[in-house]
Structure 1
Amino acid sequence: MRKFEGEEVVVSRDEISFTGSHNLENILSAIAIASLYRLEREAVREALLEFKGLPHRCEPVARIRGVDFINDSKATNEGAVKSCLESIVQPIILIMGGKDKGANFFYLRNAIKERVKRVILLGEAKRVIKAQLNTICPLSEVENMRDAVTEAFNKAQKGDCVLLSPACASFDQFKNYEERGEVFKEEVRKLDS
């Protein structure tokens, strides 16, 4: 990430703790604004290195037996899911579903085809999602988050990533996306106990 009073590097890409082109765009915007306000380069660098991201947005949760778990419960639309999928380099077991908001899940077909080994479906939207994605990769249907996490972990191999990125609202089973994300994290922690 360049450009702060000349061509000085503020922070390199490998020093940042989160990934994805959408996050890199945000970082570049932050650097540009900091430069306009003539903030100290070192203070900007320190802030970028310390920032770990926001809860429920591509949030690393745990690594259990070589499987990474990421909470992206805030991803309640197709664009947000696609951004997170594109930021993960490992093979993905994707947990999605919830209350259907009329999403066009066909939009995700290419990203899922390229990056996802299996989709675990839950919630009211599971049949709609299944109808739109059933030829892309293997699908599993479950009833609740506990079953989703267990199924995903059972299907995952060392080096895989289990990603909760629902592309749906949470209101069919949860108060809000935060509660859904917290339940996901709680179920993940139970795997390691």
Structure 2
Amino acid sequence: MHQPRRALDKLPPVGLEFKIHLLRRLLDSAPEPLTVSQIMEGGPNRSFASGWYAVKALERIGVAVSVPKTAQCRVARYRLADGAAEVVGEFVVDWLRQEPRPRLSPLPGSKQYQQVLAVLGEYPDSWFTVNELTSKLSGVRKCARRPTVELYAAGYLLRRLSDGGKPGRVEYQYRLDPDAAPHARALLDA
């Protein structure tokens, strides 16, 4: 199984998060086959064509296989290739560990940062897209994108993929990093 692992390691970064989601769905359903729509469930919002092409890419590198259509099921279904579960599982775990949290870096006491941190501090267990944050800042700030991304890069926020984005576009959700909460409070007080 060295070939599939090398092929997985060589997957281009564009669309990799989506493929990781597909691999996780295939792992969770093993050995039951799933349709492309079922494999895409709960992941980033992409078009059916994007899902189909991603599954076909996984099939080409040998980690997924198509299941023949039957009289009972005339829809294409896919499952992990025989013997691929361990390799795919290791790859997914390695990838999930790869994106470490950004290290906490000091930021100046900016009003824009304070506005975003105030909203996130009010709802510490909630995740927000930039658009949702912007709507909570209505009348104060036209867009929360830049300060939110800068707060994430400085280690104050956590980030995850949103499942409500538009097809073909990655959208993230943000929340206050509990480990950085004391630093966020200090920034709010600045």
TM-score, structure 1 normalization: 0.27
TM-score, structure 2 normalization: 0.28
The structure with the greater share of residues assigned to helix is 2
